[in-house]
Amino acid sequence: MSANSKGISYWITQIAVSAVFAIGAPITGVLMFSLKPDEPGMGVILILIGIAFFFCLLWLIRAYRSMSKQQRAIYAWAIAQQMAATDVRNPKSDGEAMTVASQAKDGALSPGELAALQALRPEVPYPGAAAAPTVRR
């Protein structure tokens, strides 16, 4: 699988999961009103969760459409590099990981920072063309 297809699959996965929950949670919430009428709060919570995923879906689509193919691939690469550091979830917060990925896609990371990201998973090449980091062993 090429770096470009990995970048696209990251976005497709994020959008698909958000869409499923944006549609499924409110439908399940409405069903909960008839399945458990003595606990209407459960249905309301599911509807609110669905609304949150709907707004997440809108944000994802806007972010996807506002980036070039290379920017999307670099963003996805930076997220994947940080999350796969030790084959378990990195203790860094998701917000921090997204900030680093956003800086990477904008070209705002130093060559040293890019090299540090590349060193986390050396087998996955940097998808950018001009400032590809080098890893010394």
pLDDT tens-digit readout, 24-55 = 999 999 999 989 888 889 999 999 999 999 99
Kindly report the CA angle at 74 between 68 and 78, in degrees rounded to 5? 150
Distance from first CA to last CA of the chain, Å, rounded? Answer: 25
Q: Within this chain, do residues 4 and 44 fall inside the same structural domain, yes or no? A: yes
Pair (12, 32) in one structural domain: yes
Give me Rg for the CA atoms of the chain.
19
Q: What is the pLDDT of residues 44-88, one digit of tens each?
A: 999 999 999 999 999 999 999 999 989 998 998 998 888 876 555
Q: Are residues 6 and 24 in the same domain?
A: yes
For residue 110, the enclosing domain spans: 68-126
pTM of the model: 0.70
48 and 88 share one domain:
no
Residue 137: the pLDDT is: 42
Residues 97, 61, single domain; the answer is no
**Is residue 112 a part of any domain in this protein?**
yes
End-of-domain residue from the set 50, 66, 82: 66
pLDDT in tens, 92-119: 778 888 899 999 999 999 999 899 888 8
- Phi, psi torsion values for 135, nearest 5 degrees: -110, 125
The phi-psi region of residue 107 (left if phi > 0; otherwise alpha if psi is between -120 and 50; otherwise beta) is left
Alpha helices in the chain (DSSP H): 3-35, 40-66, 69-83, 94-105, 111-120
- Mean pLDDT for all residues in the chain: 84
Q: Are residues 78 and 18 in the same domain?
A: no
Number of domains composing the chain? 2
Domain shared by 83 and 122, yes or no: yes
